[in-house]
Amino acid sequence: MTFRKIFFVAAAAICCAASATAGQASRTEGGLAFQAQGLNVRVEFYSPDIVRVYKEPVSRPCKKVSIPIIMKPGRVELSFGGGGGVATVASERVAVSVDTETGGIVFADKQGNIMLRDKDYGTQFTPRDDAGRPSFEVRQAFLLDSAEVIYGLGQQQTGLVSQRNQRLLLRNQNMSICIPFVHSAKGYGLYWDNYSPTTFTDNPQEMSFDSEVGDCADYYFIYGGTADGVIAGVRALTGQAPMYPLWTLGFWQSRERYKSPDELCEVVDKYRELKVPLDGIIQDWQYWGCDSNWNSMRFENPRYINKMGDPYYMRFLPKGEKADATGAEPRIKTAKEMIDHVHKRNAHIMISVWASFGPWTDMYHRMDSIGALYDFETWPRHAGVKPYDPFNPVARDLYWAEMKRNMFDLGMDAWWLDSTEPDHFDIKDSDFDVKTYLGSFRSVHNAFPLVTNRGVYEHQRQATSDKRVFLLTRSSFLGQQHYASHSWSGDVTSTWDNMRRQVAAGLNYSLCGIPYWGTDLGGFFASRYNNDINNVAYHELHVRWYEWGVFQPIMRSHNSSPVAVEIYQFGKKGYWAYDAIEKYTRLRYRLLPYLYSTAWEVTSGSGSIIRPLVMDFAGDSRVLELGSEYMFGRSFLVRPVTDSLYTWQDARRNGHQKDMADVASVDVYLPAGADWLDFWTGSKHSGGQTVMREVPIDIMPVYVRAGSIVPFGPDVQYATEKRWDDLEVRVYPGADGRFTLYEDENDNYNYEDGAYTTIEFEWDEAGRTLTIGERKGKFKGMLKSRKFNIVLVGGSTPAGDVPAKGRTVRYDGRAQTVSL
């Protein structure tokens, strides 16, 4: 009997009594249980869309508690059937068939379309010693359709969007975020719930996960029907994403590193002087001083406490640094003054905090006293620094208590949790035998960043509801969105090839259901350009990467010393690099109402900001493996320019500029199923074709889907400088469309109690009317009346980043319709 026929048998047997048996399988409240291959197997529906499969050796039953899964099984209406060694169970959405002899499991939709096969005899348990504890290497194989396209696996640096025909070691490290989750273009997701280093293999014979250690084989099948549905399932399983403060969506400036409070504050002052928008500044490492004092979580570098010359504190000065030759009195003398100065300039500050401690720190000794340090080589090398054990709840309490006392209580706004893989050098197998609170480091390795971020998030939430948590972190795991965690792609080198690879990496990461991701704009290591900020070839790369940054969820410029990448390092107004950077910074701020509303869709509706084209155009086969462009929210098609078009690139020489009047072009594919308007010109194009778009240095190809309604904010110096009482609302005609404008108090958790408003805009293409719906909800200080400047894009109407004149509508919260 074929698998397809099996499901028709299941449908025919749908009226069987719930207590009936099917072959050797027994019915449970949530599904089926049976034995095969010497394994106890349970199939359990968590919801009509989500099925857990759990397998354990009959001789070694165990009780598994998942780290990322927070969903509990719900009561699901199920139908049972089968016969002849095959048992079936079905919800209203998913049908599951099990072969009680081979252990094979087949997942299908209710129409009988097979989604995924758990391979016959595809589960293997190989005994192994795990740090003195009997355990297993665990392998699980699946069968995919030959033409099926799959995504996910976190953030990999392969440059590929499709994860077919790959062999990857999933072990978190700098630049590689490893999540054993695949997302199929067929509309389902598969999460292998194991945190040990795992080899993912896909070849024509099978797809498999081979984990170094585990007591069970445990996975979740998530049926979404669409990519959005799959992501909604991931969020249901692992937690929804909270809102970030509005200011976090502005521009962030960072450098490795600002070496004194004066240096950091001068950057903020310079941006304000130049009237270039800025919301965030970041204090990277070594504010604590030397490597032996690594991550003390205290300002003990003498430059941060006005102790230059004090013999006690001078011992903390980082290696190779000397006291200022002039001995000049600092303007900003302490860390508290630094934080206060940033706030007075209407900006916010983030600080780098690591998952490890140097031997001079109090935290090192406190963690050591409770057995919460890992004994292996981490960054910085040869300094005696050791990672801490975030799986230990007491260690997490100590970690936060020190952060709160020494930084949060001073007014620190956000946290950069660096090296959350953690960094690990000279790797030996015995390093993974290190004991953690939950077992060997081997058994929990990939969950380290999840638990580290969760610890800080939960503690800050307990401390206050008046300040939203914002975490920047270098590593991640499934479910990290639930803890206000934003990942970036690691310390990538500044090359065009690396920039290109980041696009595909971000698309796959987003398809794991984690919405906030970004990159070091311009790349981190500029050694390709001799670390020379005056290298014109580097200018071109940085500008193009920066332009792309406008269309990343978080926009943050960062680079390794000695290169500094503040806008004024790229010349002055009138120089092409400076002008392009300023132009795109202002565009980012104009897009804040659109982006904040999209963030609300992420929080309230399991939405995504980075949307690989398969999410909106799954019916167009040409987009399935396209890794050069994506949707930013539901309106903008973004195609970063990832090739040098105007300068020579030579690592040993300064770049040489070509004639920039000779405008180059790049190809852009416009997906079928929609018409598209060029963001910069308003010209209209049909979908299903490739167009060549001219790209002068200040133009990155951006197209807007016909039917889009996009609110544009005012020109501001920081996100909350002006209220949104006079928004420009652009309608991009060609199809019906709608958009929901979201507003709240910007930086607290009152929205969780309903303190927010929404206004729905709806465009009727046939009637050429825009309906502005009734305002719903309320919050303290909300706008009761305002103006909307309605602009219909196209024809002679201006487009691009320049404000346009349209029809002014006064709005007091009541619905109205505008004819255009």
Q: Which residues carry out catalysis?
A: 418, 421, 491
Q: Is 275 left (phi over 0), alpha (psi -120 to 50) or beta?
A: left
Which helix (H) or strand (E) covers residue 107, if one does? strand 105-109
DSSP β-ladder status, 786-792 and 726-731 = parallel
Whole-number Å distance between alpha carbons of 666 and 206: 38
Whole-number Å distance between alpha carbons of 543 and 549: 10
DSSP 755: B
Which helix (H) or strand (E) covers residue 257, if one does? none
CB neighbours (10 Å) of residue 462? Answer: 9
Helix (H, G, I), strand (E, B) or coil at 607: coil
What own/partner pairs with CB < 8 Å and gap ≥ 24 does 461-468 have?
Answer: 461/749, 463/404, 463/408, 465/748, 465/749, 465/750, 466/747, 466/748, 466/749, 467/245, 467/413, 467/747, 467/748, 468/242, 468/243, 468/244, 468/245, 468/747, 468/748, 468/749
DSSP 653: S
Whole-number Å distance between alpha carbons of 160 and 503: 9
What own/partner pairs with CB < 8 Å and gap ≥ 24 does 332-337 have?
Answer: 332/260, 332/261, 332/262, 332/265, 333/261, 333/306, 334/261, 334/299, 334/304, 334/305, 334/306, 335/261, 335/287, 335/299, 335/304, 335/305, 335/410, 336/410, 336/411, 337/261
C-alpha separations of 67 from 49, 223, 237, 450 in Å: 21, 21, 11, 9
Using the structure block, give the residue that is written with the tokens 């399983």: 237
Beta carbons of 540 and 660 less than 8 angstroms apart: no
Going 621 to 625 to 629 to 631, the CA torsion angle's sign is positive
Beta carbons of 581 and 546 less than 8 angstroms apart: yes
DSSP β-ladder status, 471-473 and 485-488 = parallel
Q: How would DSSP label each residue in 1-50?
A: --HHHHHHHHHHTTTS-TT--BTTBEE-SSEEEEEETTEEEEEEESSSSE
Q: What angle do CA 411, 417, 418 make, to 5 degrees?
A: 130
Rg of the chain (C-alpha set): 27
Q: Is the peptide bond before 515 cis (omega within 30 degrees of 0)?
A: no
Q: Give me the amino acid identity at 764.
A: D
CA-wise closest residue to 657 among 523, 564, 573, 538: 538
Beta carbons of 282 and 254 less than 8 angstroms apart: yes
